[in-house]
């Protein structure tokens, strides 16, 4: 019998992998050969290594732009190797190290280039990637919040639409995410995390800290509006398929997602994880969101019901754009052409940009 965990991963996440940079043929070939979830990380790491080798070979020949593209794709594939793979921490961490190394190697090669940055946080640091549009002296900034098990290495395609419209992008791994998952547990009061990130932006003379937007995907679609409710330095917010009350979604989540939350929240048992999920709530908070808000949801979402996004939209006090897609899945990754560019145009206008 097929492993239900593998089938669940394919059913829920196929559009996400492809829309975020995994070639369709790679997805089809790798998943077709998988019979057990225990083989997921190994199989995807083997495919990622092919892209990494192409990148290293291109760089050795002096083809820097091609090397950057290959290494970025390798980083994405390595990221999805470790994605939700909490059953084998050693194997997961090895794949994660490769994801970070490949994306870091790509940063000076891509257009526009990126800079690895370390954001001071609670006496230590959160790792991020800062990219600035070519020719911009002090561009506005879009801070990009990751989801439960997404990470900055996955974000190239999302970054590009904002960069093309004149915004700098700052993607970062927060508590329980990517490089932040080893030192920090997930926390519900994400305004404390964004305060540290925005303080970092304030300290950069090459960024316009007076024009900052925030964007969040999946669980980041909770983190971003949560921060916007408290920190008025945020001028506009995009929320993609986030929960209004995470605890109310918890029992219907796929098994792999519940296990990942348990690990990332440092919970000892599923029951403790369910209790900690209650800390992630916008109830009595969303009413304090006064900045413009763009909310995206797919009405076929099998992870976070789209009605959670409607609760956010209805509770916010500022102007709201609802982009609810009847045929969209989680984050509407199967219909990115119906919101990704549109939300980027919207954010550019909110941050005072004009473009061709």
Query: Catalytic site residues?
Result: 218
Distance CA(41)–CA(9), nearest Å, equals: 12
| Strands 141-145 and 168-172, sheet pairing | parallel
Structure tokens at 88: 């084998």
End-to-end Cα distance, the chain: 53
Name residue, tokens 């998952």: 181
Structure tokens at 180: 């932040």
Name residue, tokens 């999302």: 158
CB 120 within 8 A of CB 86: no
Distance CA(34)–CA(43), nearest Å, equals: 8
- Neighbour tally for 204: CB within 10 Å: 16
Nearest to 120 by CA among 200, 4, 46: 200
The DSSP annotation for 147-194 comes to -SS--GGG-HHHHHHHHTTT-EEEEE--TTSGGGGTT----S-THHHH
HEC readout, 196-260: HHHHHHHCCCCCCCCCEEEEEECCHHHHHHHHHHHCCCEEEEEEECCCCEHHHHHCCCCHHHHHH
Nearest to 276 by CA among 190, 185, 193, 191: 185
User: Is the link from the previous residue into 112 a cis peptide, with omega within 30 of 0?
Assistant: yes
CA distances from 327 to 291, 298, 301, 324, 339 (A): 28, 6, 9, 9, 13
CA 271 distance to own-chain centroid: 26
């Amino acid at each position: 019998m097929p492993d239900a965990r593998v089938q669940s991963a394919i059913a829920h996440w196929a559009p996400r992998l492809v829309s975020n940079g995994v070639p369709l043929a790679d997805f089809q070939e790798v998943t077709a050969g998988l019979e057990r979830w225990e083989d997921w990380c190994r199989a995807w790491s083997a495919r990622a290594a092919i892209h990494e080798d192409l990148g290293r070979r291109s760089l050795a020949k002096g083809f820097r732009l091609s090397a950057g593209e290959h290494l970025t794709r390798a980083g994405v594939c390595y990221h999805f190797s470790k994605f939700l793979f909490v059953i084998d921490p050693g194997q997961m961490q090895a794949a994660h190290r490769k994801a970070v190394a490949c994306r870091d190697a790509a940063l000076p090669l891509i257009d526009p280039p990126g800079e690895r940055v370390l954001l001071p946080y609670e006496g230590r640091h959160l790792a991020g990637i800062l990219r600035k549009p070519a020719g911009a002296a002090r561009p506005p900034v879009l801070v990009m919040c990751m989801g439960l098990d997404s990470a900055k290495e996955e974000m190239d395609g999302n970054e590009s639409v904002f960069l093309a419209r004149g915004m700098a992008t700052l993607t970062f791994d927060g508590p329980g995410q990517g490089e932040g998952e080893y030192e920090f547990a997930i926390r519900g009061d994400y305004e404390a995390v964004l305060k540290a990130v925005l303080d970092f932006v304030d300290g950069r003379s090459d960024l316009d800290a007076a024009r900052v937007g925030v964007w969040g995907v999946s669980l980041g679609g909770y983190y971003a509006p949560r921060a916007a409710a408290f920190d008025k330095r945020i001028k506009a917010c995009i929320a993609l398929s986030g929960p209004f009350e995470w605890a109310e979604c918890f029992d219907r989540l796929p098994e792999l997602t519940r296990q990942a939350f348990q690990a990332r929240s440092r919970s000892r048992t599923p029951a403790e994880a369910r209790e900690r999920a209650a800390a992630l709530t916008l109830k009595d908070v969303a009413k304090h969101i006064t900045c413009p808000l763009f909310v995206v949801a797919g009405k076929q979402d099998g992870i976070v019901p789209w009605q959670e996004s409607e609760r956010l939209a209805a509770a916010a006090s500022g102007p709201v754009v609802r982009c609810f897609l009847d045929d969209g899945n989680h984050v509407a990754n199967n219909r990115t052409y119906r919101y990704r560019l549109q939300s980027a145009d919207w954010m550019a206008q909110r941050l005072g940009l004009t473009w061709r």
